[in-house]
Structure 1
Amino acid sequence: MRMRRALTGLALGGALALGATTVPAQAADGATGTKVSVSASGDVHPMAGWHFYRAYWSKAACVSEGESLPYDYYCTGGIGSDGNYKYFLYVWY
C-alpha cells in the first residue's frame, strides 16, 4: 500500500511539474521580445536608437568625439560608475 501511494504521488508530482514548465512557454508565445532586424547575411542587429558610446572627463572631449563620428550624437553629464562626474556620449544608430 505504501509503495502504491509513493508511486502515485511521484507520478502526480511529475505530471504537475511537467505541466508547470509548459505553461510559461505557452504564455510566452504571444509575447513580444526585443525587436531586432536581420540583414540579408543573417546578422542580428539592435533596432535604431540612442546607444551609449563612451565616457569623457570633459564636455569638450565628448563633443569633439561626437562631431568626428558619422552619427547623430549628444553629450550629457552625470556620475560614472567610479563615483566621478563625467560626460557621456550617446550616438543614434
Structure 2
Amino acid sequence: MRIRRALTGLALGGALALGATAVPAQAAEGTTAQQVSVNASGVVHPMASYHFYRAYWTLDACADEGYSLGYDFKCTYGKGNDGKYKYFLYLWY
C-alpha cells in the first residue's frame, strides 16, 4: 500500500511540475490550471477540457483550422501576450 501511495505521489508531482513548465506562450488571460486524474495503475491523464492550440488574426482562419482538425473547438477573442488582439483556438480533448 505504501508503494502505491508513493508512486501516485511521484506521478502527481511529476505531472504538476511538467504542467507548470509547459504553459502555452499565447494563452489568453484567465485560463485555469490543468487538472489531472490518476488511475489505479498510477498513470496520469489530463482531464478533458479545452486546451489552447494557436492564435489567429481572423475569426475565419480560427474556425477553418478548428473544423479541419476534427476536434470540438471554440474560438475566443482576446489580447495576446504581445498586446495585440487575436482569436485563440481551443480544442476539446
Q: Please tell me the TM-score bracket, short chain as reference.
A: 0.5 to 0.7
- Taking only the aligned residue pairs, the percentage that are identical comes to 60
| Number of aligned positions between the proteins | 60
| TM-score w.r.t. length of structure 1 | 0.55
1:26-84, Cα deviation, whole Å (9 max, x unpaired)? xxx9xxx943255x8x7533110111111111111100000011210010101000000
| Equivalence for 2:79 | 79
Deviation at 1:91, TM superposition (A): 0.8
Q: Taking structure 1 as reference, are residues 75 and 86 closer, same or farther at Cα in structure 2, changes over 3 Å only?
A: same
1:8-38, Cα deviation, whole Å (9 max, x unpaired)? xxxxxxxxxxxxxxxxxxxxx9xxx943255
RMSD over aligned Cα atoms:
2.6
**Which portions of structure 1, spanning 4 or more consecutive aligned residues, are displaced by more than 3 angstroms?**
none
5+ residue gaps, structure 2: 1-8, 14-34
What SS class does the counterpart of residue 81 from structure 1 fall into?
Answer: coil
| TM-score w.r.t. length of structure 2 | 0.55
Higher Cα radius of gyration = 1
Higher-helix-fraction structure: 1
